[in-house]
Every structure is written in C-alpha cells, then in structure tokens.
Amino acid sequence: MAEETVNDVSRVENGEYGADSIQALKGLDPVRKRPGMYIGSTGESGLHHLVYEIVDNAVDEALAGYCTEIDVSILPENVIRVIDNGRGIPTAINHAEGISAATMVFTMLHAGGKFGGGGYKVSGGLHGVGASVVNALSEWLEVEIHDGKNVHFQRFDRGEYKEEIKITGTTDHTGTTVTFKPDAEIFHTTVFSYETLNDRLREKAFLNGGLKISLHDLRDPENIVEETMRYEGGIREYIAWLNKKRGAEVLHPDIIYLDGVENGIMVEIAFQYTTDFNSEVFRSFANDIHTGEGGMHELGFKRALNKVVNDFAKQEFEKSGKNKKKKQVKPGKKGEEEKPFAGYSGEAIREAINAIIAVKLPECEFEGQTKGKLGNPEVQPAVYKVASEKLTYYFEEHPETMQIIVNKAANSQAARDAAKKAMEAKRKSVMDSNGLPGKLADCSESDVSVTEIYIVEGDSAGGSAKEGRDRRFQAILPLWGKMLNVEKARADKVYNNDKLLPIVKALGTGIAEEFDIEKLRYGRVIIMADADVDGLHIRTLLLTFFFRFMRPLIEQGHVYCAQPPLFKVARGKQVRYAFSDEERDNYIAELGADGGKTDVQRYKGLGEMDPVQLWETTMNPETRTMLRVSVEDAAKADEIMTILMGDKVEPRREFIEQNARLAENLDI
Ligand code: TTJ
C-alpha cells in the first residue's frame, strides 16, 4: 500500500491528477485490486450486482418515504442508467472531509451509510458496499442531482475525478440520476441480461409494496423491451404471482398477511396453502436480500405457526371430544378415556404452505455456506411475537380459513403416520441382508470425509462407472425402472418406489421426518446423467426428490452434479475433452494449428465412454469438474417439476414456450 501511495504522489507531481483524485484513488484502490471481495465475483453475478447496489440506494430513499419511482435502463453498449425521484443526494460540502457529500458517496468506501441517518436500509446488506464500489469498477460514472433548484453534475473515470461537482443548470424537481459503464478491464463480461435484472427488480417491487420500478432495455432501438412493476399489495401480490406462475391450486381463497414492528424489527409475512403434497415453499428476505438458507426469521414464523395451529386444533379436539362423550357414553363401557391431543408435527402443519417472510432491521448478520442465512438471534422472538399474535387474531376473524388449515394438517399428519408404518414394513422385506440395495457397488472406505456415491442413469454407463471408479472411496448406484413423479407422492409412495428406495437405502439417512444426516454413508452424493434432455429430466427429478425429502443434504452441500464432457477432440495421441461448443472449437484450433486434421467425437451419452475415459474426464477428483447443488438450484428444479408435472395445462404450455432454451437456462 505504501508503495502505491508514493506512486500516486509522483503522478500528481507530474501534473496528471489533482489532489482530490489522490483521495479517491487511495480510497478505492483496494476495490479495483480485489473486486471479488466487494461484489462476490467479476462474472455475470458481480456485474449485475452493480445495478442492485445503485438501485438499493434509491430503494432506501423510498423506504425513508421520499421516493416513489425508480427507473432503470440498459442503454446501448451496456451502459446502465438509474433515475429516482427522491430528495437527491446532498451536494453541500461535508465539513469533516471538505468535499461535497455527493462526491464522498462515490469516492469513499462505506461513505453511503453515513447519510440520511436512522431508518431501515436495504443498502449495506450482504454485499451492500455502496455506490463507491460501483464507481471504482466502472470505466466511467456520471451523477446528476436535482435539488429542486439546481442541477449538479460530476463525472468519474475508474473512480477518479478531475473536476469537482458543479452546477450545470436549473430544475424544478428533485431526484438522482446515476449513469455508468462497467469496466471491461474488471469484468469477464459486461453484457447485461434483461431477464436477470427483471427478476431481481420485480422481487424488489414486491418487497417494497407501492414502489414503482421500471426497467427498459434500450440496447436495440428496433427491439425495445420494458416493464413497469408496481405492486400495491406488496408480498401478498407476490404470493398470488408465485402461485399463478407455478399453476398451483389454492386451498383457501384468502392470502393471509401479518405484519408488525417488534423491538425495532419490521416483520411482514404473507402465506397461502395450496393443494400440493410434500411441498413447502418458504421464501424469506432480510433487508430485501433473499435468505436462501433461511435463518432466525423463518424459525420464528415456523414456531408461531405450530403454536397457533395446534392451539386451535386442540380447542377443536376438546370440543368434539366432549360432544362425543356425551353421545357415546354407555353404561359398562368404561376405560375409553380419550388420549390428550398430542399436536401435529411442524412438517404436517407446513405441508403445501407457500410463504414469504420479509424482515427489515438496522443491521443483518448473514451466515451459512452461501451467506444466505439470517443469524441475528433477536429476530426469532420478534417474528414469533408478531406472527403468533396476528395469526391468532386472523384465525378468530376468519374461522373458515382456520378450519381448512387445521383439516389439512390433520390429513397430512395421518398420511405421515401411514408412511411411517409403510416404511417399517418395507424396511425388512426389500433389502439385502446388510440392508443395502443389490445393485449398489459399494466402496471399501467408510469415512464420509472421503466417500462418494455416483447415482448413474442407465446400465451401460453404470457398468463403465463401476469399472472406471476408484473402489476405495467411490460407490456406484445404477438407476433403473420407472421414475416416480415426486410431485404428487407422499413419503409412503417413496418407500414403495423401485427407483428411489435404493437411493434412500444406499444413503442410509431415511427421508422426511426420519431423515438423519448423521447416518449419511457418503460425504458426496453425485448425480451423473447424460448431457441431453433425458439426463436433464433425471437430474430435475432427483433434485426435486432431494429437495422435498432430504433437504438438509442439499443445504449442507452434499449434493453434486457430475459434468461429463460433450466432445472428444483428438489428433493422434493428443486428446482433449471439451465441455462446450466453444471449448471444442478452441481445441480443434489448438490441435490443428499446423493445418492437420483433428478427429472430433460427440458423446451422446455416458454409455459411449469407456471406463478409462469416464474416470479421466468425469470421476477423477484431480481432473473432473463438478457443480455443487445449492438450495436455490434445487428449488428451481422443484418449481420446474411442479409446472411440468402438475395437472394445470396452461402454465405448463406457457412455461415450455418461455423456456425453449430450458437446457441452457437450467444452471444445474
Ligand atoms: C440522504 O439524506 C438527505 C436527503 O437525501 C438522502 C439521499 O441520499 N437520497 C438519495 C440517494 N436519493 N437517491 C439516492 C441515490 C440514488 C441513486 C440512483 C444512486 C445513489 C448512489 C443514491
């Protein structure tokens, strides 16, 4: 660092930069050196993050009550422009620093948080690093501020400015416009995806009900794409939208909405049950950041839901119990005392729920593998209190909805109890003497820190995998038979399914309520399927199955997808394996650089590879690439499954039309 400062000074002495730019450079240099530390990655996700970072500042202004519209445009050359109608970033000189507050926002790390004081901020969250980071990572950035009187303007190049902020005109309104071009020296790609921005901005619009957010793709003047999103009903409308998108049938007409502020924590919950089985959809957010791994807010709501539903169920039970006794008591038939109501399990109560939980708090702590879990302990009791009080009140006001939900829980509990019985009966009959499936080629190690199981579709691929593997730590389980549609299946059906049962048995963990991660027999569970549509289908089914019946397996990062190559490019003894068309072309160019002929083979399926090739390309830990499956990937698979397998034709058709590129889009 010291060295760099000296360099900066010398450049100034050469007259290249003014004193102010030194300040900016010193502050933002680390951002350009290690961008990943600030925005997660320099790939597509990091690129899009720049937009959210800027938009979040405007959302904060909306949360403070001063901004009603945010307008985002993708301009030609992938320049982004964000306009809000807030108060405008203050332009006056900040006396501590001696420069304009607006300049500080764009040149000092974390300077953003110092303004506006108090309230709930969505910026400053997970990667909420502020506008200065966006500035540092942009080839150029311009800010224009309307304060109701004057227009203020400043320009930055890679975070540095040559001119102070200046007045360029007059104005009769207030607001902030930020325009920037992400730096191609930093990002692997600078091409924005309209879909990605649209998804995220829609989420923001739902999470901040009433706020109008529009997105315009103006890159091609011949083909302008745009959408304005404004949801007066906030997360209530989000539930309705999600249900419609999945084609889910609802169990009761009303979307239940609970909100309140407790201990400075703003809590909002919306939920509705569907007629599905085995689905439980929770989408939670903390300060507008999606918490894919859940956390304290989800726990608080689940506890409240358990308590309130069981309280009402107990009341019902006691009422009907008394009635029964009056009618049925016959002389001489004593000892028929009813057992006290034991309560339904959380899983039974949550079956088929579709819920959104959004909290806003002064400072979030994110934990977990992907930093997607809300850790603040004070959030759980706050959500519990708001949810249990408001839900009790809601059920008192809407006894018909309460009745439907209590009945659903009762049915669900009965099905689960039946499943448990079916499982116990099956346990003994189907398995080998050692309790393992007959087709499993087990490994010799038993230490889960090294063991892996490959779940392989097809007997021929299974054969190659068995021969090619390292049998010390790699087990192979070929799949056969008809795959079960997991969508409508309850746990008892899983235990009667020829294809899924061997997986359950091989993993050793049991499923659903019985699931016990301690019993897991392999540290890595690897799905190995062909790189074609059938393979995608199998993968989607298996992920849906894991998502529904063994979710902790995914949450704790045990599930992977193997990545078999698509092509073999050979020139004599030189062989390269390519995982994409682009890679194939590169290898053809490389091996055929002298004009010689290369031989290209396309693998249609895993079965076409011999054991040695399969080992080298897909199974050898030294050379293979595998994708770890995140809960989000699995949730996506689950959503797709619901749409593809559900009985609603319309959403399915719509989905297939919209996802002609399904195989490419599915990032699993
Ligand atoms: C701060 O407190 C005084 C009044 O203005 C508050 C403020 O900073 N408002 C504000 C910031 N509105 N909009 C922004 C903003 C908008 C964009 C698009 C980008 C950035 C970095 C800030």
Does residue 352 contact residue 273 with C-beta atoms inside 8 Å?
yes
Most distant pair of Cα atoms in the chain: their distance: 109
Residue 178: CB within 6 Å of ligand 1? yes
Ligand 1 centroid from CA 114, angstroms: 11
**pLDDT of 4 over the 50 cut:** no
Per-residue confidence at 7, pLDDT binned at 50, 70, 90? very low
Output the CA angle 607-609-615, nearest 5 degrees: 115
Same domain, 398 and 441: no
Residues 6+ apart with CB under 8 A from 319: none
DSSP-derived letter for residue 127 is S
Structural domain that includes position 544: 426-564+627-665
Nearest CA to ligand 1 atom 3: 116
pLDDT in tens, 382-429: 999 999 999 999 999 999 999 999 999 999 999 888 877 777 766 555
Q: How many independent structural domains does the chain possess?
A: 3
Active site residue 217: no
- DSSP helix/strand/coil, 592: coil
Dist CA 252 CA 173 (whole Å): 46
Does the annotation mark 650 as catalytic? no
Q: In what order do the strands lie in the sheet with 599-602?
A: 574-578, 567-571, 599-602
User: Where is the domain boundary, 422, 457, 475?
Assistant: 422
Task: Compute how many other C-beta atoms are within 10 angstroms of the C-beta atom of residue 192.
Answer: 20
Is the CB of 111 inside a 6 Å radius of any atom of ligand 1?
no
Q: Whose CA is nearest to atom 8 of ligand 1?
A: 89
| Whole-number Å distance between alpha carbons of 532 and 534 | 6
CA–centroid distance, 88 to ligand 1, in Å, is 5
Q: What is the DSSP-derived secondary structure letter of residue 532?
A: S
Answer with the one of 387, 405, 422 that is the final residue of a domain.
Answer: 422
Interval 541-547 mean pLDDT? 89
**Which atom of ligand 1 lies at the shortest distance from residue 55's CA?**
18
SS (H, E, C) 296-358: HHHHHHHHHHHHHHHHHHHHHHHHHHHHHHHHHCCCCCCCCCCCCCCCCCHHHHHCCEEEEEE
360 in the same domain as 506: no
| Across 607-626, average pLDDT | 89
Residue pair 493/416 in contact by the 8 Å Cβ criterion: no
Residue of 147, 217, 276, 530 marked active site: 530
CB 374, CB 382: distance < 8 Å: no
Which residue's alpha carbon is at the smallest distance from atom 14 of ligand 1? 58
Share of the chain above pLDDT 70, in %: 82
User: Ligand 1 atom closest to Cα of 89?
Assistant: 8
Residue to mutate (ligand 1; options 87, 174, 215; most atoms within 8 A of CB): 87
Q: Which atom of ligand 1 is nearest to the CA of 117?
A: 2
Residue 22 CA, ligand 1 centroid: distance in Å: 25
Q: Do residues 567 and 577 make contact, with C-beta atoms less than 8 angstroms apart?
A: yes
For ligand 1, whether the C-beta of 104 sits within 6 Å is: no
Question: Exposure string (b/e) for 303-313, b if CB count within 10 Å is 16 or more?
Answer: bbbbbbbbebb
- 631, 551 Cβ separation under 8 angstroms: yes
Residue 212 forms beta bridges with which residues?
69
Please report whether residue 73 resides in a domain: yes
Name the residue with higher pLDDT: 214 or 625: 214
Residue 102 has pLDDT above 90, yes or no: yes
Are 125 and 166 in a shared domain?
yes
- Exposed, middle or buried, 331 (CB in 10 Å: 0-12/13-18/19+)? exposed
Is 90 exceeded by the pLDDT of residue 659?
no
Candidates 89, 109, 114, 152: which one to mutate for ligand 1, based on the most atoms within 8 Å of Cβ? 89
Cβ(127)–Cβ(290) below 8 Å: no
User: In this predicted model, what pLDDT tens digit does every residue of 588-615 receive, in sequence order?
Assistant: 998 988 888 889 988 888 888 889 989 9
Higher local confidence (pLDDT), 641 or 283: 283
Q: Which helix (H) or strand (E) holds 28?
A: helix 19-33
**Same domain as 267, residue 225:** no
535: CATH: 3.40.50.670
- CATH number at 288 reads 3.30.230.10
In terms of domains, do 133 and 59 share one? yes
Let me know if residue 9 belongs to a domain.
no
pLDDT tens digits, 322-356: 655 444 444 444 545 567 888 999 999 999 999 99
**CA 60 to ligand 1 centroid distance, Å:** 8
Alpha carbon of 232 to ligand 1 centroid (Å): 23
Q: Which are the contacts of 656, defined by CB distance < 8 A and separation ≥ 6?
A: 662
**Is any atom of ligand 1 closer than 6 Å to the C-beta of 405?**
no
The verdict on residue 12 lying in a domain is no
**Per residue in 515-524, pLDDT tens?**
899 999 999 9
Cβ–Cβ under 8 Å, residues 586 and 574: no
Residue type, 144: E
Same domain, 414 and 439: no
How far from the centroid of its chain's Cα atoms is residue 225's Cα? 25
* HSE-up of residue 423 (Cα within 13 Å, Cβ side): 20
Ligand 1 pocket residue status of 63, Cβ below 6 Å: no
534 is catalytic: yes
Atom of ligand 1 nearest to the CA of 178: 18
In this predicted structure, the answer to whether residue 125 has a pLDDT above a threshold of 60 is no
Residue 364 has pLDDT above 70, yes or no: yes
Evaluate whether residue 284 is within a structural domain: yes
Last residue of a domain, one of 195, 229, 263: 229
Domain-located, residue 617: no
- The answer, yes or no, to whether any atom of ligand 1 lies below 6 A from the CB of 51, is no
Closest C-alpha among 384, 421, 369 to residue 307: 384
Lowest mean pLDDT among 26-30, 96-100, 359-363: 26-30
pLDDT at 572: 86
Residues 418 and 430 reside in one and the same domain: no
Rounded mean pLDDT, 533-538: 79
Distance 62 CA to ligand 1 centre (A): 9
Write out the two tokens for 338. 């009813």
Q: Tell me which residue has its CA closest to atom 11 in ligand 1.
A: 89
Residues 169 and 272 reside in one and the same domain: no
CA–CA separation, 365 vs 430, rounded Å? 47
pLDDT at 166: 97
Residue located via tokens 């309560």: 343
Tell me which of 106, 176, 211 to substitute to probe ligand 1's pocket, judged by most ligand atoms within 8 Å of the beta carbon.
176
Judging by beta carbons within 10 Å of its beta carbon (0-12, 13-18, 19+), is residue 174 exposed, middle or buried? middle
The answer to whether 292 touches 370, Cβ cutoff 8 Å, is: yes
Residues 209 and 264 in one domain: no
The answer, yes or no, to whether residue 482 has pLDDT greater than 60, is no
Does 571 map to a domain?
no
Check if the beta carbon of residue 430 is closer than 8 Å to that of residue 501: yes
Residue 458 in any domain: the answer is yes
Is the same domain home to 641 and 493?
yes
> What is each CA distance from 556 to 101, 260, 525, 552, 630, in whole angstroms?
44, 32, 11, 6, 9
Query: pLDDT > 90: what percent of the chain?
Result: 55
Which residue did the predictor score with more confidence, 248 or 231?
Answer: 231
128-169 pLDDT, tens digit per residue, is 568 999 999 999 999 999 999 999 999 999 999 999 999 999
Higher pLDDT, 462 or 59: 59
- The first and second tokens of residue 202, run together, are 């829609």
Helix %, strand %, coil % for the chain, to 5?
A: 45, 20, 35
| Best residue among 84, 142, 147, 211 to mutate for probing ligand 1, ranked by most atoms within 8 Å of CB | 84
The distance in angstroms from the start CA to the end CA of the chain is 41
Q: Which helix (H) or strand (E) holds 379?
A: helix 379-397
Pick the closest to residue 175 from 145, 143, 154, 219 (CA basis).
145
115 lines ligand 1 (CB under 6 A): yes
Q: Check if 89 has its Cβ closer than 6 Å to any atom of ligand 1.
A: yes
Range of weakest confidence among 413-422, 442-451, 562-571: 413-422
Render 83-152 in DSSP notation, one character per residue: EE-SS----SEETTTTEEHHHHHHHSTTGGGGSS-SS--STTSSS---HHHHHHTEEEEEEEEEESSEEE
CA proximity to 61, closest of 115, 100, 108: 115
- Round to whole Å and give the CA distance between 79 and 47: 12
Q: How far is the CA of 127 from the centre of ligand 1 (A)?
A: 18
CA of 96 to the centre of ligand 1 (A): 19
Catalytic: 311? no
CATH assignment at residue 165: 3.30.565.10
Q: Ligand 1: does its nearest atom lie under 6 Å from the Cβ of 87?
A: yes
Domain assignment present for 600: no
Closest residue CA from atom 20 of ligand 1: 57
Confidence tier at 653 by pLDDT (50, 70, 90): low
Q: Are 208 and 300 in a shared domain?
A: no
CA pair distance 111, 23, nearest whole angstrom: 13
C-beta 310 within 6 A of ligand 1: no
Average pLDDT of the chain is: 85
Question: pLDDT band at 369, cuts 50/70/90?
Answer: confident
Q: Which of 293, 457, 487, 616 is catalytic?
A: 457
Where would I find the H helices in 500-630?
500-507, 533-549, 551-555, 581-591, 611-614
| Cβ of residue 58 lying under 6 Å from some atom of ligand 1 | yes
Say whether both 479 and 394 belong to one domain.
Answer: no
- Name residues whose C-beta falls within 8 Å of residue 175's C-beta, 6 or more positions apart in sequence: 67, 83, 84, 85, 86, 88, 145, 146
For residues 456 and 606, is the Cβ–Cβ distance under 8 A?
yes
Query: Is residue 241 over pLDDT 90?
Result: yes
Q: Are strands 567-571 and 559-562 parallel, antiparallel or unpaired?
A: unpaired
Name, in order, each residue with C-beta under 8 angstroms of 505's C-beta and a sequence gap of 6 or more: 430, 431, 435, 436, 437
Task: Decide: 131 in ligand 1 pocket, CB within 6 A.
Answer: yes
Section 488-506 average pLDDT: 74
